[in-house]
Chain A
Amino acid sequence: MASPIMAPSFSIFGRKMESGLMSRFIPSISAHGCRKQALNRVLAVMAPTQPQRSPATTGSVKHAMSMTEKILARASERTQLAPGENVWVNVDVLMTHDVCGPGTIGIFKREFGQNAKVWDREKIVIIPDHYIFTSDERANRNVDILRDFCTEQNIKYYYDIKDLGNFRANPDYKGVCHIALAQEGHCRPSEVLLGTDSHTCNAGAFGQFATGIGNTDAGFVMGTGKILLKVPPTMRFILDGEMPKYLLAKDLILQIIGEITVAGATYKSMEFVGSTVESLNMEERMTLCNMVVEAGGKNGVVPVDKTTLKYLEDKTTLTSEPVYSDDGFRFIQEYKFDVSKLEPLVAKPHSPDNRALARECKDVKIDRVYIGSCTGGKTEDFLAAAKVFLASGKKVKVPTFLVPATQKVWMDVYSLPVPGSGGKTCSQIFEEAGCEVPASPSCAACLGGPRDTYARMNEPQVCVSTTNRNFPGRMGHKEGQVYLASPYTAAASALTGYVTDPREFLL
């Protein structure tokens, strides 16, 4: 009776399509013997067809696959997949946090039973990070809900916080979920990581499939360990050339999003390759993948290399071999960038694709600067900002808020020496420059949050921020204006009180 984990069965009936709505794909059907009568009652329509591929000369039918396709093939126990196929995928890690966790838990209990157990207590990572240091009662209650559930289910990875007055008194507390996942060794090549947060795509930097889902889907995964996904086609971004010393990965991704727009990668996978990408450290690669969702992308991937393995060696062990896109693979679109020719950018209000050269915005007077979030609050981001302050030696002209993403980042800010500073730490440089004291690690004002959130924009002000979105009201006030930028650009802008190209200080 017990059968091993097997491939799901599909019941697909063709549906007559209107002539104006031509489907370009044919369904892929895999039958399975174990099927009940009930299935026949269910209508299904065809999955999109696969593009025609010619058989290999060996006579067996093979086709080239992209990295994302290979990862999903492994996770769905198939040897081959093509874009457009809907497949049931085994999930390796499910992450949730204080904003979506309670809702997910509610759905899990409602659908699977009040006494149901999660599919695997070691594969769920619960990370309170969004609304932590606030007096908002519901927000505090939501963290309690997570704790109760983790206790009940004996969840192995729950990064709890109880003492809200002093984050350092909570040894388990980490901070921003996506950075915590990386730092705690939950990101592994070729795995499938899902999270109830749109920036889950951040983890694609580790050569895995990582994407955001909602509470209902997450509730389903919580109970079964599986999710139904459509295999996305892959867009390739080739970034070559030596990275200029005034550019960071944030500039690269803003360049790309400005190029393809906020919907340019909708339902697609974004693969980042090239000599520049290879030269990036893991935190910079995370910044690239983090904002894939801002282009509408389903997931982002960076191929695994020595840099990846070095980062992982003291954190975790690989569970599968890294995979790479086949040489003959045809990407749905390819973009090439000569990075040496790029300049520092901003995304002007109110869209991440509202790209402009930082130097062309030099007349924009600003009211504040925010350096933080999963996108721009990592150790490398603070080191970068410190570099600019060090080069200038002057004080900032506007309030400059610093929010380290995690406890580890906070400690780095206070302990790591900044190159060229004679042994000073970031925190010392920030203090000398007149920045605000680095705050407790959390998502803080990136997404506004409860009214008393640190650095929340409660008045209509102009802010240069290293965060990921700048739609109306994003950081709090509906009329607030947020310019998205790299840590270099943010620091440079803080020093002048205007949107400023960091070359003013770094050349």
Chain B
Amino acid sequence: MVIIVVSVVVPSPWSNIAIIVLSLPATILSLSSTFNLRFPSRPSFPKCPSFSRSPPEPLLSTAPRAAVTPSSPSPTTFHGPCYVIGDNIDTDQIIPAEHLTLVPSKPDEYQKLGSLALCGLPSSAYPVPFVLSGAASTPFPIVIAGANFGCGSSREHAPVALGVAGVWAVVAEYYARIFFRNSVSTGEMFPLESEETVIWKECTTGDIVTVDLDERWLTNHTTGKEYRLKPIGDAGPVIEAGGIFAYARKTGMIASASTA
């Protein structure tokens, strides 16, 4: 008998994040004549989110005040310059609608989305571009945002663009629900929440920060301030694995048809 078990993160408006593990006998999903329970191995896209990435080189021309060099990370620590944005950054600013002709499941179009991440931000308010002109990715692996990040559309292109661009984590006050859900289902980046509000006002684009997922701290080395993070809970392993489908396969929850 094939057991299909899927772990899906359902975001919570409170600090807790719940995951339910489901077991469904194959008979439910098989609709035997019409449904094929083969699970092919995931195609290897040029960029596949995983937590064992190496940190980016320091890419700013202005030397940070704290002379921190990127260390080889433990799997749950991210380090590098941060990009700071405010409240209610909606999906049109994350990835303007004219780029939605790009289909994320096509590898070359998936890659292109990265170069367009946050290109909808008005330059008057955000003079430092998130992705330099002509570049394929961002020098800022960590984004610090305000309230209601990702509000607006259900377009999955939004977390995908951020993830492909090289964002490891966003630390926001809280998220709009579809964006949060999409971030976890795709495993593109960690949507973390700060316990304090308005931390974005104390940070500046280019500050060197460390995000420690296990200890739940965001440390701004440039200002010397530290901020507590809310637990990502079991959404963490789902994102680390690369999304709900990948997580289910990695943990052996999706058995192949031959072991039925």
Contact = CB atoms under 8 A, between A and B. Distances in A.
Given A23-B14, A230-B18, A35 B195 contact: no
Contact of B103 (A24, A106, A351): A106
Contact of B92 (A6, A10, A45, A469): A469
Contacts of A344: none
Contact of B6 (A2, A6, A44, A220): A220
Contact of A266 (B155, B176, B182): B176
Interface in A180-233: 196-198, 200, 212-217, 220, 223-224, 226, 228-230
Contacts of B191: none
Interface in A408-453: 447-451
Contacts of A322: none
A219 B138 CA distance: 29
Interface in B131-174: 147-148, 151-157, 174
B198 interface: no
A212 B5 CA distance: 24
B178 A116 contact: no
Contact residues of B: prevailing secondary structure: loop
Give the size category of B's interface with A. Answer: 35 or more
B29 interface: yes
Interface string B1-37: 1010111101111111111111111011101001111
Contact residues of A: prevailing secondary structure: loop
Nearest to B26: A1
A105 interface: yes
Contact of A102 (B11, B16, B92, B103): B103
Contact of B253 (A38, A198, A263): A38
Contacts of B38: 112-113, 116
Interface in A1-22: 1-3, 5-6, 8-12, 15, 17-18, 20-21
Interface string B215-234: 00000000000000011011
A329 interface: no
B178 A212 contact: yes
A74 to B, nearest CB: 18
A307 to B, nearest CB: 28
Contacts of A200: 154
Contact of A34 (B23, B181, B243, B252): B23
Contacts of B237: 43
A111 B106 contact: no
Given A41-B252, A103-B104, A472 B23 contact: no
A197 to B, nearest CB: 6
B185 interface: yes
A133 B130 CA distance: 32
A362 interface: no
B43 A45 contact: no
B120 A472 contact: yes
A113 B18 contact: no
A214 B93 contact: no
A472 B124 CA distance: 11
Contacts of A229: 10
B46 interface: no
Nearest to A479: B122
B5 A39 contact: yes
A267 B20 contact: no
A216 B97 contact: no
Interface stretch (A137-145, A276-284, A367-375, A486-494): A137-145
Contacts of A41: 251-252
Given A119-B31, A263-B174, A266-B177, A447 B23 contact: no
B36 A116 contact: yes
A1 B7 CA distance: 24
A293 to B, nearest CB: 8
B16 A17 contact: yes
Contacts of B102: 138
Given A42-B251, A117-B35, A198-B178, A3 B100 contact: no
B105 A105 contact: yes
B186 interface: yes
A473 interface: yes
Contact of B97 (A23, A262, A293, A449): A449
B251 A263 contact: no
Contacts of A34: 3, 23, 25
A163 interface: no
Interface in B185-224: 185-186, 195
Interface of B: 1, 3, 5-8, 10-25, 27-29, 31, 34-40, 42-43, 88, 90, 92-93, 96-98, 100-106, 109, 120-124, 147-148, 151-157, 174, 176-178, 181-182, 185-186, 195, 230-231, 233-234, 237, 243-245, 251-253, 255
11 contacts: A36-B5, A48-B16, A115-B36, A117-B35, A198-B178, A212-B153, A212-B154, A226-B24, A228-B6, A469-B152, A472-B122
Interface of A: 1-3, 5-6, 8-12, 15, 17-18, 20-21, 23-24, 32, 34-36, 38-39, 41-48, 84, 86, 88, 99-100, 102-103, 105-107, 110-117, 119, 130-131, 136, 138-139, 142, 145, 196-198, 200, 212-217, 220, 223-224, 226, 228-230, 262-263, 266-268, 293, 296, 298, 351, 447-451, 469, 471-474, 476, 478-479
